[in-house]
Amino acid sequence: MKQSALSNAIKKFFKTTTLHGFKYLVSRYFHDRIGWAACCLASACCAAVLCVVLWERFLKIPALLQLRDLASGGFQQLPSVVVCQPPDVVIENFLSRIELNGTNTSRLPATLANALQGKPTDEAQVDLLEHLLQTNNMSLQQVLYAYTPNCEDLIKRCRWRAKPVDCERLFKKELTRWGVCCVASPARFDNISIPPLLGMNVIKQLDMVLQCSNGSRARGCEFFTKYVGEEWVTPTRLSPGLNYWAYLTFTSEKDSDAEKLVDGTCISDGGYSRSQCLLKCTSKKCGCSDPLRSIGIATDAQSLPPCPLRQISCLRTIGLRGNSTCLCLPSCQKVITRTDLEYSPFNEMESCLDPIYEGLNATEVVVFRLRVNIVVSKTFTLMPTETWLTLLSSLGGVFNMFLGVGLFSALEFLFFLFVKLPIAVRESTEMTPVVFNRVDQVS
């Protein structure tokens, strides 16, 4: 009798519910109850299997790569082209023009190069180089700017898409994390007018003649390219007396998943890269800022002083390896480049018909040809195919097809579960008072 209210509530729900076949579970006939129980169980199993399949698809195939047109995709087709004189050569120029008083400085250029690359350095040599900078009242930035050759002295000839151009229009002296270099931004290439026939070529061509020597000693140059948002890049050393051909292709992938942008699992700001974020984070950990900033990093106001040479090695080591305590999210746009480099020695330059070789000294220069192949390069957009909204609608369709669970039936079940059922349980547990009538016996 105590459970009569609870059982009556359950029976009433099954009789009036809109769920498929559930009202037959309280049928008067035994065979109906068994048959419909089997049908409901089979439908529930089918719904569970399809839900598992939908969940696996949601986890494994969350998005679709869509190939975009490079002309209208908004992606910069050309990278920043950077030519540098190696920092060890710059330090040699600096040391050759100051008073050394018999001090052995032969290892100092290699010490600075190792410090900038995050390699182990001799602390005594680092302290010696720091002492020479302080004695001459110069910082590392000032030395690099003062003793790095101007762009017109480093880059003698330029040819953009088979058209000779003034190198000063393309290259400007800028500070990068590899030293003071001559940088040609993509916008400067766009400002050069090209004849229509040359503009139809899908391979971007840049030819340069680099003066990579200092007197009788062959010093070499450094070269690298960098797209906005691209991660770590490493310069390539170029030796005088050689022809170089660099064939560059790129792949750009942009994640347009709105959920990642809202949840903050990637950064969509233009020019952002995880490597730059790590460098800024490690600057705070080392207590000093990087005196050589990468191209693309904004010069934000920092109260941290520039790092001394001893700290630069530590700063670059942490920045290159990353740090688990630095919460740097990946960029929503990833750029991956591949550069195939070929080289060959100069042979019979006098008989060469290409005017770029005219009057060159083969022992002092480098002829460098960069080809950016737009045809084989790709730009993709990551389009989400499975989101929480599509997953919810798919699950709702499965439950509605096999169990008849819709919006109103779900509200009906929740109302029964949280309102009617607790009331029935409370009524079933209440004690019904029993009244005994006292009959006076009349003797």
Q: Is the pTM of this model over 0.85?
A: no
- pLDDT score of 268: 73
Q: What is the pLDDT along the chain (443 residues), one digit of tens a residue?
A: 445 777 777 777 776 776 666 666 667 777 777 877 787 788 888 888 888 887 777 776 555 555 555 544 455 678 899 999 888 888 888 888 888 877 888 888 888 888 777 777 888 888 888 888 888 888 888 888 888 889 998 999 999 988 899 999 999 999 888 888 999 998 898 888 777 665 556 788 999 999 887 654 557 889 999 887 787 788 999 988 889 999 998 888 777 655 554 455 777 776 677 777 877 787 787 778 777 764 444 444 456 787 787 777 667 665 555 555 677 887 777 888 889 999 988 876 666 778 888 888 878 889 999 999 887 777 777 666 666 667 677 777 777 776 667 666 767 777 777 777 777 777 766 655 544 454 444 43
Two structure tokens written together for 223: 């070269």
- pLDDT score of 430: 61
- pLDDT score of 159: 93
- pLDDT score of 218: 56
- pLDDT score of 401: 72
Q: For residue 182, count other CB atoms closer than 10 A to its CB.
A: 28
